[in-house]
């Protein structure tokens, strides 16, 4: 049976499973429900009825967007599926977002080689990617 790419946001169970099974950080089901509902555009890949890959575009749809949640189950990797996911997301970017939109992503490890094929480039030293994972210790040091 062939792989089927669908323009569809994964459901909460598939999303949470794919994140953990591919080494991405786990997400609580309630967080996934809220986040997935705010997806700008997403695709998933099915094989034998099961969702085995996904990718999402999130953001405001005009000024700032981020490609995230690119994941393909390990047993299906190396078959060009990540490239198919990226191509579908980039087709949306190219056809639906204004020219001034800033599209970014975080490249883990060798995934940077995939993203470079679609025009993404390291922004350092002009910019440095930063992140914050919750919960965090709130020190109360913030001054108004």
Give the model confidence (pLDDT) of 114-131 as tens digits. 999 999 999 989 998 888
Percent of the chain with pLDDT strictly greater than 90 = 85
**Mean pLDDT throughout 36-41?**
98
Confidence of residue 138 (pLDDT cuts 50, 70, 90): low
Q: Taking 70 as the threshold, does the pLDDT of residue 1 lie above it?
A: no
Percent of the chain with pLDDT over 70: 94
For the domain bounded by 4-116, which CATH number is listed? 3.40.630.30
Calpha distance 23→129 (Å, rounded): 20
* Distance set, CA 13 to CA 33, 38, 47, 95, 123 (Å): 9, 16, 16, 30, 34
Q: Which residues are CB-contacts of 72 (< 8 A; sequence separation ≥ 6)?
A: 22, 45, 52, 53, 81, 82, 85
Q: Which pLDDT value is given to residue 137? A: 72
Give the pair of three-digit tokens for residue 20: 């953990």
pLDDT score, position 79: 97
Query: Mean of the pLDDT values across residues 14-40?
Result: 97
- 109 forms bridges with which residues in the sheet? none
* Residue 103: closest CA among 75, 68, 67: 67
Domain ranges of the chain: 4-116
pLDDT at 93: 98
pTM above 0.85, yes or no: yes
pLDDT at res. 140: 61
């Amino acid at each position: 049976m062939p792989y089927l790419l669908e323009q569809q946001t994964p459901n909460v169970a598939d999303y949470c499973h794919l994140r953990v099974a591919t080494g991405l950080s786990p997400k609580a089901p309630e967080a996934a429900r809220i986040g997935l509902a705010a997806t700008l555009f997403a695709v998933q890949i099915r094989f034998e009825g099961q969702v085995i890959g996904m990718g999402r575009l999130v953001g405001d749809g005009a000024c700032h967007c981020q490609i995230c949640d690119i994941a393909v189950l390990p047993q299906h990797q190396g078959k060009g599926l990540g490239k198919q996911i990226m191509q579908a997301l980039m087709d949306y970017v190219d056809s639906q977002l204004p020219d001034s939109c800033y599209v970014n992503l975080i490249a883990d490890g060798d995934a940077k080689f995939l993203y470079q094929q679609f025009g993404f480039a390291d922004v350092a030293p002009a910019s440095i990617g930063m992140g914050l994972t919750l919960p965090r210790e709130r020190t109360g040091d913030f001054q108004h």
